[in-house]
Structure 1
């Protein structure tokens, strides 16, 4: 056969080969449309978008059977940007004994104001050098944001991030605070992380806890929780693909309503968060998953001697001699100030 006569046959063979390769590729390769949709979802539905902060955002990989396999998400430093914050907060003294970092919801102005009054009026606020900071995300309403800006101008003690202020974004709030402190508060001995419904007894803190561990840079002091149950439903519900086959967390962690951290460990903890897959429960993430990445960083369980969930206990404890209870969770705003006043009366007597 001549070359010209062979052309149709060669074309037919090439066509058949191309069709066969296409069929093989279709069976083995990911569904491109689904892949693009998954990636777009990940970029669109992120922690700073309304309605998306209440779920752990994860990239999705589509296999040849169109099933989605979760890949771990890591914290993106772009989501830790600060839009309000006074960088000079820690820069005017040689040593700060403790910075109290309060996780607060954007609408909890009354609680922040009570905590400010307690710190301003407590005599230990003047004896020791301390700083008070409130960590916030962004609200949904512009009017509320205007109020926060005004509050910042008045007090200068707010650190606000770009993410939405939602319950499932508490890990972003905590890591943002660590990054900010790492960059702006290097002259600090201790960082005290606490919630805005917690009362702190500054007398007991500086008399007992501060002096007890002031020589250690590798001990986190808290109410430690050992082998807690993993809930799959409810407020603390964890998706079934997280820690699959586990009924209990395989590590101890701190109950996050109050945690005392050596300031020297804050930059180390922050850098470790960039290497540990994201988990939305901040206490478990920071003081369990991330802490385990740092050699020799240990938890000291101070239990109910210094930490208590029951706010009524602090009112009872104040009246007893030798009460060392330092942190207690109080659900009502008025109880915060009442407990502090009762303590001051006891000290005066």
Structure 2
């Protein structure tokens, strides 16, 4: 058969190959585009890794005058799915005094290790029944996800959701934690929500906060940010979009500074249910302890004094912890400083005894 005679057959084979490649591209391309769009738009929308941007389309409408307006968004239950989590972490004992739920970024391994070492070596960790959990989203890179898998196998204290681990998904991280605790930690007295750059003094927590305080099932213990006293920022890292709290210059409700918040565990299921009703707001402290908490009858904020709660002044924190009569429970500091402070603190407490 000559080359000329083979041309129709070659042409047919080329056409079949092109059709197969087109069909393959049509099936794969949308997934690739969605993944790239999720990474690109992480600072503007709340989403999971497979659906970013769809919510923004679904929550826009054009009114009778032809103007586009933004509709209220709500928690997407698909984003609360847990891919890593040890369900028996609270169920292996009859009663848990406190669960410390730490909001951590996927790359902050050193912070998590510092907190683990402090808790495991602290005498109060053995004196009371305490559980430690780290809440994470998903990283952008599979290499980092493999490290999370290894960390989970070694420690078993990670609860990871399907959403991307970004600032604008902080609320999903918090609500996922509420749902998980409601289902798996029903034998707990207190839940302590904190960030991974917060040092907690377990001696002072049980001596000056846990044992003396007698609260109802609707009391949230935190550093309260009072109604009308906190400015609504429209720009910067914590900027609020113009369609949220429109016309307000200050937040119209009280809420908690989210560095450290103590809640009766009995309140967690009610708070979780409230998040399914309240329109979505990406700043988790304001959403959970201001907007959602407002839907719970009789809920109140108990303000922690500065004696028990410092935020960023490291010198004052360290000066207090080395002094007799210090009641400081929570303080912000780096992972390197945490271990140093804890070791020096133990020397003082042992000498005092």
TM-score, L = length of structure 1: 0.84
Q: What is the aligned partner in structure 2 of residue 277 from structure 1?
A: 279
Query: 1:319 Cα shift?
Result: 1.8
Q: What is the match of residue 61 of structure 1?
A: 61
* Structural mapping, 1:86-165, within 5 Å: 86-165=86-165
How far the C-alpha of 1:214 sits from its partner, in A, is 4.2
Deviations 1:264-303, CA, capped at 9 Å, x for gaps: 0000000000000000000000000011110111000113
Which residue matches 2:38?
Answer: 49
Is the Cα–Cα contact under 8 Å of residues 49 and 163 in structure 1 kept in the other structure?
no
Matches within 5 A, 1:165-180: 165-180=165-180
Q: Tell me what 2:296 maps to.
A: 294
Give the corresponding residue for 2:326: 323
1:38 — aligned with what? none
**Aligned partners of 1:143 and 1:51: how far apart in 2?**
19
The one of 266, 269, 292 equivalent to 2:268 is 266
Name the SS for the 2:87 alignment partner.
coil
Q: Distance in 2 between matches of 1:244 and 1:324?
A: 40
Given that 1:98 and 1:129 are in contact with CA atoms closer than 8 Å, whether structure 2 keeps it comes out as yes
The structural deviation recorded for 1:196 is 0.3
What CA RMSD, in Å, does the superposition of the two structures yield over aligned residues? Answer: 1.5
Q: Per the alignment, in what secondary structure is the counterpart of residue 39 of structure 2?
A: coil
Flag the structure with larger Rg: 1
Partner of 1:312: 315
| CA separation of 1:95 and 1:214: change in aligned 2, threshold 3 A | farther
**How far is the alpha carbon of 1:67 from its aligned partner?**
2.2
Give the SS at the match of 2:116.
Answer: helix
Q: Displacement, 1:346? A: 1.1
Question: What SS is found at the alignment partner of 2:88?
Answer: coil
Partner of 1:341: 343
- Give the Cα–Cα distance (whole angstroms) in 2 for the partners of residues 275 and 181 of structure 1: 19
Q: Name the structure 2 match of 1:82.
A: 82
Deviation at 1:215, TM superposition (A): 4.6
Aligned twin of 1:16: none
How far the C-alpha of 1:124 sits from its partner, in A, is 0.2
Change (3 A) 1:110 1:177: same
Aligned residue for 2:279, secondary structure, equals coil
Deviations 1:287-338 (A, max 9, x none): 00011110111000113121111233221001221100100011x2211111
Distance of 1:136 and 1:200 partners within structure 2? 20
- Whether the aligned pair in 2 keeps the contact of 1:229 and 1:249 (CA below 8 Å) is yes
Kindly state the Cα deviation for residue 173 of structure 1 after the two structures are TM-superposed. 0.2
**Most deviating of 68-77 and 52-61:** 52-61
Q: Distance in 2 between matches of 1:316 and 1:289?
A: 36
Alignment size in residue pairs:
304
Is the contact between residue 91 and residue 184 of structure 1 (CA under 8 Å) also seen in structure 2? Answer: yes
Structure 1 SS opposite 2:40: coil
User: For structure 1, which runs of at least 5 residues remain unmatched after alignment?
Assistant: 1-43
CA distance in 1, matches of 2:274, 2:34: 25
Between stretches 256-265 and 332-341, larger displacement belongs to 332-341
Secondary structure of the 2:99 match is strand
Find the aligned partners of 1:89 and 1:214 in 2 and give their Cα distance. Answer: 26
| Residue segments in structure 2 that go unaligned for 5+ positions in a row | 1-32, 46-54
Cα separation, 2, equivalents of 1:214 and 1:150: 40
Give, in whole Å, the separation in 1 of the partners of 2:249 and 2:88: 46
Match of 2:186 in 1: 186
Shift of 1:212: 2.5
Provide the residue aligned with 1:257 in structure 2: 259
TM-score normalised by structure 2 residue count: 0.83
